[in-house]
């Protein structure tokens, strides 16, 4: 899936409603290729009527920010702007309030935010690829628009193990997400976003 230039609030893919049940844990895995450094870009945002920042991945040149329930996990040594395909997985669970980051199948670090302990993402919200939502399905900001390529974006309602994630990367075969399934997004694009078949 290609998010072209010029960056525009018209370019996104949206599933609404996206999540059927509240989530006390999750794993989100995807392949991404960012062609140049344009400041911060939003890869995905999940907004509900209770919390427009219920889940966000925001990518900076040398940092990756992950939000759950508007609470921040900051990964400060992750450069995703190197013009190659990279496999990224983030897991989060509310028993410890811990998020783990994996890059190209390898565990690269974890962050704790105790404010997310016992939190649950609320069902029924809107999941948008390529834009940051300030309301359910809207309130986009051009300066946070994605310019790049995505593939195999999937989400699960559990914390995947390190071996599960390593297998996704090394086998290049990704099982369908139980919460978000990449194949569903092909018909949910807007604006100039295009889908390239392999
Ligand atoms: Ca927002």
What would the DSSP string read from start to end of the chain?
-EE-SSP-TT-EEEESS--SS-BSEEEEEEEEE--S--S-EEEEEEE-SS-TTSEEEEE-SS-EEEEETTEEEEE-S----SSS-EEEEEEEETTTTEEEEEETTEEEEEEE-GGGTT--BPTT-EEEES---SBTTB---GGG---EEEEEEEEESS---HHHHHHHHHH---PPPSSB-HHHHTT-EETT-B----
Whether residue 35 is predicted with pLDDT greater than 90 in this model: the reply is no
Distance 160 CA to ligand 1 centre (A): 27
What is the spatial order of strands in the sheet that 41-47 belongs to?
71-75, 64-68, 55-59, 41-47, 126-129, 12-15, 189-190
Q: Ligand 1 centroid vs 62 CA: distance in angstroms? A: 21
For residue 86 the two structure tokens come to 């990279």
Is the pLDDT at 151 greater than 90, yes or no?
yes
Distance (angstroms) between ligand 1 centre and the Cα of 40 equals 14
Q: Average pLDDT over the chain, rounded to whole? A: 93
Taking only the tens place, the pLDDT of each residue in 94-136 is 999 999 999 999 999 999 999 999 999 999 999 999 999 999 9
Cα–ligand 1 centroid distance for 65 (angstroms): 13
Q: How far is the CA of 30 from the centre of ligand 1 (A)?
A: 21
pLDDT of residue 77: 79
For residue 36, is pLDDT > 90?
no
Distance 1 CA to ligand 1 centre (A): 23
CA of 53 to the centre of ligand 1 (A): 5
Distance between Cα 123 and ligand 1 center (Å): 17
pTM of the model: 0.95
């Amino acid at each position: 899936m290609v998010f072209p230039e010029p960056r525009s609030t018209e370019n996104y893919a949206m599933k609404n409603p996206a999540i059927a049940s509240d989530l006390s844990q999750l794993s989100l895995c995807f392949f991404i290729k960012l062609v140049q450094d344009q400041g911060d870009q939003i890869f995905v945002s999940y907004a509900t009527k209770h919390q427009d920042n219920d889940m966000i991945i925001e990518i900076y040149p040398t940092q990756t920010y992950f939000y759950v329930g508007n609470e921040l996990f900051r990964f400060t040594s992750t450069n995703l702007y190197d013009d190659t395909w990279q496999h990224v997985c983030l897991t989060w669970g509310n028993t410890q309030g811990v998020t783990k980051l994996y890059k190209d199948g390898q565990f690269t670090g974890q962050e704790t935010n105790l404010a997310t302990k016992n939190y649950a993402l609320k069902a029924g919200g809107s999941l948008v690829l390529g834009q940051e939502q300030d309301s359910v399905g809207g309130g986009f900001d051009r300066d946070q628009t994605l310019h790049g390529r995505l593939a195999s974006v999937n989400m699960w309602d559990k914390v995947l193990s390190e071996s599960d994630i390593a297998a996704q990367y090394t086998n290049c075969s990704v099982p369908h997400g139980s919460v978000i399934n990449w194949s569903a997004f092909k018909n949910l694009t807007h604006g100039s976003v295009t889908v390239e078949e392999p």
